Structure 1
Amino acid sequence: MIDLGYSLSRRFPDPPQTDYRTADVRALRHDLFCGDVYLADTEADREVSTAWGWVPVLDFAWALCDIVERLDRDPRGSRSATPVFAELDFTESTDCMLFERRFGWVEVSADWMPADEPPLTFNHAELRREARDFLHDLIADLADMHEGLADNPIIWDLQSRFPRV
């Protein structure tokens, strides 16, 4: 089972003058909602997580949904033996998470993981569902904390682009 989560940082608060209703894509993806994220395999009791405090959590959720869709471009879908690769780069560092799909399975690793540690492995359809649920739950949490965010057209577009599965 997949568990995706986040925590917001107290060290990097959002600017108090922010108008969330009109925040642009750059602000939403890179300047606001900093914290840490994790992706865990609860059955294997293993996770890939950050502990930096500055990861833009909305950008992580957004990028993860994009990556899961990019991994599904092969018309053969889960029957494809051809590996498909994607990276999730963290903009403030050289670190990245690595994704490889073969057949219906996605292996997730990070370049900060020990070399001898095997990647996490998830069913692609389950990862898609969990990534989208995480995005919608995160947006709901952030909208509860930040007045006007739910009225931002970029957020509307994001939610319609990646509806819950």
Structure 2
Amino acid sequence: MIDLGYSLSHRFPDPPQTDYRTADVRALRHDLFCGDVYLADVKTDRELSTGWGWVPVLDFAWALCDVLEQVDRDPRGNRASIPQYAELDFTESTDRLMFERRFGWVEVTADWQPADEPPLSFNHRALRREARDFLHDLIADLSDMHEGLADNPVVWNLQSRFPRV
């Protein structure tokens, strides 16, 4: 079972004058909603998490959906034996999450985890579904906290690009 989550930082609050209805892509992806994120394998009780407090959580959810589409380019899908790779870079950092898909399974590793730590391994279809659910749930949470965000055309486009599956 997969668990994706986040927490918003009190150290890096959003600017009070922000108009969420008209915030552009750069602001939504890099300047707002800072905090920490985690990706956990509940079955093995292991996780990859950030503890920096400055990760733009909406950008993480958006990038995770992008990455899972990148590793799904082989038309053979779950039958593809050739590994497919993608990386998720964190804003303002050299840290990365690396994704390798082969035979319908995605292995996830992080720069900051010990070298002898085995990767987290997830079924691609399940991880893709969880990532999209996480994105939609995050947008719903942020929209409840920030007036106008649900009316932002960038958010509409994002939700239509990655619908729930």
Q: Give the TM-score, by structure 2 length.
A: 1.00
Task: Quote the Cα distance in structure 2 between the aligned partners of 1:91 and 1:37.
Answer: 13
Task: Quote the Cα distance in structure 2 between the aligned partners of 1:91 and 1:153.
Answer: 23
Task: Quote the Cα distance in structure 1 between the aligned partners of 2:6 and 2:151.
Answer: 23
Task: Quote the Cα distance in structure 2 between the aligned partners of 1:82 and 1:34.
Answer: 36
Deviation at 1:91, TM superposition (A): 1.6
Instruction: Calculate percent identity across the aligned residue pairs.
Output: 83
- What is the aligned partner in structure 2 of residue 17 from structure 1? 17
The answer to whether the aligner puts 1:63 opposite 2:63 as a matched pair is: yes
Q: Give the TM-score, by structure 1 length.
A: 1.00
SS of match in other structure, 2:94: coil
The answer to whether the aligner puts 1:78 opposite 2:78 as a matched pair is: yes
Task: Quote the Cα distance in structure 2 between the aligned partners of 1:117 and 1:97.
Answer: 14
The question of whether the paired residues in 1 share the 8 Å contact of 2:2 and 2:39 is answered with: yes
SS of match in other structure, 2:143: helix
Map 1:96-135 → 2, pairs under 5 A? 96-135=96-135
- What is the aligned partner in structure 1 of residue 50 from structure 2? 50
- What is the aligned partner in structure 1 of residue 157 from structure 2? 157
- What is the aligned partner in structure 1 of residue 5 from structure 2? 5
Task: Quote the Cα distance in structure 1 between the aligned partners of 2:116 and 2:70.
Answer: 27
SS of match in other structure, 1:109: strand
- What is the aligned partner in structure 2 of residue 137 from structure 1? 137
Q: Which runs of 5+ in 1 are unaligned?
A: none
Q: Which runs of 5+ in 2 are unaligned?
A: none
State the AA in 1 paired with 2:21: R
Q: Deviations over 1:6-40 (max 9, x none)?
A: 00000000000000000000000000000000000
The answer to whether the aligner puts 1:146 opposite 2:146 as a matched pair is: yes
Aligned length, in residue pairs = 165
The question of whether the paired residues in 1 share the 8 Å contact of 2:56 and 2:91 is answered with: no
- What is the aligned partner in structure 1 of residue 95 from structure 2? 95
